[in-house]
Chain A
């Protein structure tokens, strides 16, 4: 059973700070890794995904994947109060004929203070 662990559980940063969120997974054969953002009372929203080892940058977001260490991180540059939300790491795992399935971590609660 794939396990996805996220750290820290919560984080408070001042506006403009760089934010680093961590996610570890248990199966190196996992497919893509996704990061979702969830605001209170809303559904999760996909932010960025990565498949290959290395990094991927989109706007203020950079994600780093290291399959050997089963670790992925999300970095948010120049954080804004609107970035305050729960960030969910999800691992896409291949289940054969059923296709891929997203296995989610519990999430990290980010609060960006003005």
Chain B
């Protein structure tokens, strides 16, 4: 089992450009979570899918962030018009059924906006 796969591992964008981050959950897991991690704020919840349906996006900045899960094997987090304050490590996690099960994290995508 390869665990949760995230690509790319590192991404550098210019201010105002778009960034798309990819996540492949563990096979058989029906829940996918996205988090953002910075030194100052720590690990913050962004959004959560169960059986590909969006359940909770309460942590998503409203205007420029969007997430999708078009099929059970991958999810994407898109950031439009990236800003320097979007620089962070974006982590994807999956769990077997939902929020009460152990969450298994991927290695993260380190995004740097110049």
Contact = CB atoms under 8 A, between A and B. Distances in A.
Contact of A105 (B42, B98, B107, B108): B42
A103 B44 CA distance: 7
Interface in B73-114: 91, 93, 98-100, 102-108
Contact of A43 (B45, B93, B99, B100): B93
Given A43-B106, A95-B56, A105-B42, A100 B99 contact: yes
Contacts of B4: 43
B99 A42 contact: no
Nearest to B45: A101
A57 interface: no
B42 A106 contact: yes
A92 B43 contact: no
Nearest to B42: A106
A107 B42 contact: yes
Nearest to B3: A43
Residue of B4, B42, B45, B48 most packed against chain A (CB within 10 A) = B42
A22 B5 CA distance: 31
B84 to A, nearest CB: 21
Contacts of A13: none
Contacts of B42: 88, 104-107
A44 B102 CA distance: 11
B91 A43 contact: yes
A102 B98 contact: no
B96 to A, nearest CB: 12
Interface of B: 4, 42-45, 48, 50, 55-56, 58, 91, 93, 98-100, 102-108
For the complex of A and B, the 10 pairs showing the least CB-CB separation, nearest first, are: A43-B105, A99-B99, A100-B99, A98-B56, A104-B43, A106-B42, A46-B102, A44-B105, A43-B107, A43-B106
6 contacts: A42-B108, A88-B43, A99-B55, A99-B98, A99-B100, A101-B99
